[in-house]
Structure 1
Amino acid sequence: MKASRDYMDDLLIRMAFHSCAIEGNTISLPQVGVIFLERMLPSGGKSVWEFYEVENHKRAFEYIEDLLAAELLLSLAEVKEIHSLLTDRLQHDRGQFKSQQNAIRGAEFKTASPFETPQLMEQWVDNTNYRLDLAVNENEYLEVLADTHIQFERIHPFSDGNGRTGRMILLFLSMKYLSDPVVIRKEWRGRYMEFLGEQDVSGLVGLFKESIAFERERIKEFGN
Structure 2
Amino acid sequence: MDVKKFGNSPIGHLVPISGTDGRFGTPYQDSAYVAHPLAAEPQLEPATWRMVNSANRALARLDQASLTILVPSLFRRSTLRREAQSTSALEGIFAPFEQVLAAEVADNQLSKELLEVMNYVEAADAAFQFVGERGAITVGLVESVHSILVRGTDSETRDAGRIRSTLVAIGSPTGAVTDARFVPMPSGIELNIAVQDLVRWIGSSSTDREPLVAAAMTHYQFETLHPFNDGNGRIGRLLIVLQFMVDGLLHEPLLSVSPWFEARRTQYQDELAAVSATGKWDSWIQFFAAGIESSADDIARRIDRLLSVQQRYVQIVQDASGRGVIRDIVDVLIGDPFVSVPKLAKRFDRTSSAVTSVVTKLVELNILSGPFGTYNRQYMARDVWIALTAPVGAVPSAQARLHFEGRE
TM-score (norm 2): 0.49
Cα 1:41–1:161 change in 2 (3 A) is farther
Between 1:7-16 and 1:172-181, the stretch displaced more is 172-181
Cα 1:125–1:70 change in 2 (3 A) is same
Cα RMSD after superposing both structures = 2.4
SS in 2 for 1:208: helix
Structure 1 partner of 2:272: 196
- Conserved 8 A contact 1:171-1:181: yes
Structure 2 partner of 1:211: 295
- Conserved 8 A contact 1:12-1:57: no
Task: Flag the structure with higher helix content.
Answer: 1
Once residues 227 and 107 of structure 2 are traced to their aligned partners in structure 1, the CA distance between those partners, rounded to angstroms, is 33
Structure 2 partner of 1:32: 100
Structure 2 partner of 1:101: 167
Once residues 169 and 142 of structure 1 are traced to their aligned partners in structure 2, the CA distance between those partners, rounded to angstroms, is 12
- Aligned-residue offset at 1:135: 5.4
Letter in 1 for 2:93: N
Once residues 81 and 182 of structure 2 are traced to their aligned partners in structure 1, the CA distance between those partners, rounded to angstroms, is 33
Between 1:21-30 and 1:99-108, the stretch displaced more is 99-108
Structure 1 partner of 2:186: 113
Letter in 2 for 1:34: A
2:137 maps to which of 65, 70, 74? 74
Once residues 112 and 207 of structure 2 are traced to their aligned partners in structure 1, the CA distance between those partners, rounded to angstroms, is 40
Structure 2 unaligned regions, length at least 5: 1-65, 173-179, 276-283, 311-408
Matches within 5 A, 1:135-214: 140-177=210-247, 178-179=249-250, 181-185=255-259, 186-199=262-275, 200-214=284-298
- Aligned-residue offset at 1:174: 2.5
2:123 aligned with 1:49: no
- Conserved 8 A contact 1:184-1:208: no
Structure 2 partner of 1:6: 74
- Aligned-residue offset at 1:158: 0.6
Structure 2 partner of 1:23: 91
- Aligned-residue offset at 1:166: 1.2
Cα 1:122–1:68 change in 2 (3 A) is closer
Letter in 1 for 2:86: H
2:152 maps to which of 89, 94, 105? 89
Once residues 135 and 196 of structure 1 are traced to their aligned partners in structure 2, the CA distance between those partners, rounded to angstroms, is 26
- Conserved 8 A contact 2:135-2:246: no
- Conserved 8 A contact 1:174-1:181: no
Once residues 172 and 135 of structure 1 are traced to their aligned partners in structure 2, the CA distance between those partners, rounded to angstroms, is 19
SS in 1 for 2:93: coil
Dislocated runs of 4+, deviation >4 Å: 39-42, 106-109
Cα displacement string for residues 5-24 of structure 1 (whole angstroms, at most 9, x for unaligned residues):
33111111101110111111
- Aligned-residue offset at 1:41: 4.4
Aligned length: 215
Once residues 198 and 120 of structure 1 are traced to their aligned partners in structure 2, the CA distance between those partners, rounded to angstroms, is 20
TM-score (norm 1): 0.85
Between 1:68-77 and 1:107-116, the stretch displaced more is 107-116
- Conserved 8 A contact 1:82-1:168: no
2:179 aligned with 1:122: no
Letter in 2 for 1:98: R
- Conserved 8 A contact 1:84-1:95: yes
Structure 1 unaligned regions, length at least 5: none
Cα 1:88–1:57 change in 2 (3 A) is same
- Aligned-residue offset at 1:75: 0.6
Letter in 1 for 2:206: L
Give the share of equivalent positions with the same residue, in percent. Answer: 25
1:134 maps to which of 197, 202, 206? 206
Once residues 210 and 97 of structure 1 are traced to their aligned partners in structure 2, the CA distance between those partners, rounded to angstroms, is 33
- Aligned-residue offset at 1:192: 1.9
Cα 1:117–1:16 change in 2 (3 A) is same
Between 1:83-92 and 1:192-201, the stretch displaced more is 192-201
- Aligned-residue offset at 1:136: 7.7
Structure label with greater radius of gyration: 2
